[in-house]
A = this chain, B = another copy of it.
Amino acid sequence: MERTIGIGLLGAGTVGGALVRRLIGESGAIAAKTGLVFDVRRIGVKTLGRVRDFEVTDGLLTDDLFSVVNDPTVDIVVEVMGGLEPAGDLILAALEAGKPVISANKELISARGPELIAAAERSGVPFLFEAAVGGGIPIIRPLSETLAGETVTRVLGIVNGTTNFILTKMANEGTAYEDALAQAQALGYAEPDPTADVSGADSAAKAAILASLAFGTWVGFDDVYYEGIQSISVEDMVFAEDFGYIIKLVAVCDRTGSGVTARVHPVMVPVEHPLASIRGATNAVFIEGPSIDSLLFAGPGAGGEPTATAVLGDVIDAARETLAGAQVAPRIRFSPGEIVPFEDVETEWYMRLMVDDKPGVLAKIASRFGESNVSIRSVWQEGVDTKASLIVVTHRAVESSQRAALESLKLIPEVLEVAAVIRVLGVER
Give me the interface of A with B, judged by CB distance under 8 Å.
18, 22, 26, 29-30, 32-35, 130, 136-138, 141-142, 145-151, 216, 274, 277, 289-300, 305-306, 308-310, 312-317, 320-321, 323-333, 335
Contact of A332 among B33, B138, B146, B325 (CB under 8 A): B33
Do A329 and B333 have beta carbons less than 8 Å apart? no
Do B136 and A332 have beta carbons less than 8 Å apart? no
CA distance A343 to B142 in the complex (A): 37
In the A-B complex, the 5 residue pairs with the smallest Cβ-Cβ separation, listed nearest first, are: A149-B312, A326-B326, A138-B142, A138-B146, A295-B299
Do B332 and A324 have beta carbons less than 8 Å apart? no
Q: Given A324-B326, A333-B32, do A296 and B298 touch, yes or no (CB 8 Å)? A: yes
Contacts of A300 in B (CB 8 A): 292-295
A-B contact pairs, 9 of them (CB 8 A): A34-B333, A35-B329, A138-B142, A141-B145, A142-B142, A145-B313, A289-B309, A292-B299, A325-B326
Query: How distant is A208 from chain B, measured CB to nearest CB, in Å?
Result: 18
Do B147 and A309 have beta carbons less than 8 Å apart? yes
Q: Given A32-B216, A317-B145, A327-B324, do A292 and B309 touch, yes or no (CB 8 Å)? A: yes
Do B326 and A291 have beta carbons less than 8 Å apart? no
Do A313 and B34 have beta carbons less than 8 Å apart? no
Do A305 and B291 have beta carbons less than 8 Å apart? yes
Contact of A313 among B130, B146, B321, B335 (CB under 8 A): B146
Q: Given A141-B141, A149-B26, do A324 and B335 touch, yes or no (CB 8 Å)? A: no
Q: Which of the listed residues A146, A151, A306, A326 has the most CB atoms from chain B within 10 Å of its own CB?
A: A146
Given contacts A138-B145, A138-B295, A145-B317, 5 further A-B contacts (CB under 8 A): A30-B149, A149-B316, A292-B300, A296-B296, A297-B297
Contacts of A325 in B (CB 8 A): 326
Chain B, residue nearest A31 (CB): B333
Contacts of A216 in B (CB 8 A): 32-33
Contact of A145 among B149, B316, B326 (CB under 8 A): B316
Do B299 and A293 have beta carbons less than 8 Å apart? yes
Query: How distant is A191 from chain B, measured CB to nearest CB, in Å?
Result: 21
CA distance A289 to B305 in the complex (A): 10
Do B274 and A298 have beta carbons less than 8 Å apart? yes
Query: How distant is A100 from chain B, measured CB to nearest CB, in Å?
Result: 13
Contacts of A294 in B (CB 8 A): 299-300
Do A292 and B136 have beta carbons less than 8 Å apart? yes
Query: How distant is A215 from chain B, measured CB to nearest CB, in Å?
Result: 9
CA distance A300 to B323 in the complex (A): 36
Do A333 and B293 have beta carbons less than 8 Å apart? no
Contacts of A333 in B (CB 8 A): 32-35
Do A147 and B138 have beta carbons less than 8 Å apart? yes
Contact of A290 among B305, B314, B316 (CB under 8 A): B305
Contact of A138 among B26, B138, B149, B290 (CB under 8 A): B138
Query: How distant is A279 from chain B, measured CB to nearest CB, in Å?
Result: 11
Contacts of A274 in B (CB 8 A): 298
Do B292 and A305 have beta carbons less than 8 Å apart? yes
Contacts of A317 in B (CB 8 A): 145, 148
Query: How distant is A277 from chain B, measured CB to nearest CB, in Å?
Result: 7
Contacts of A136 in B (CB 8 A): 291-293, 295
Contacts of A335 in B (CB 8 A): 32-33
Contacts of A22 in B (CB 8 A): 149, 291
Query: How distant is A211 from chain B, measured CB to nearest CB, in Å?
Result: 14
Contacts of A321 in B (CB 8 A): 321, 324
Contacts of A295 in B (CB 8 A): 136-138, 297-300
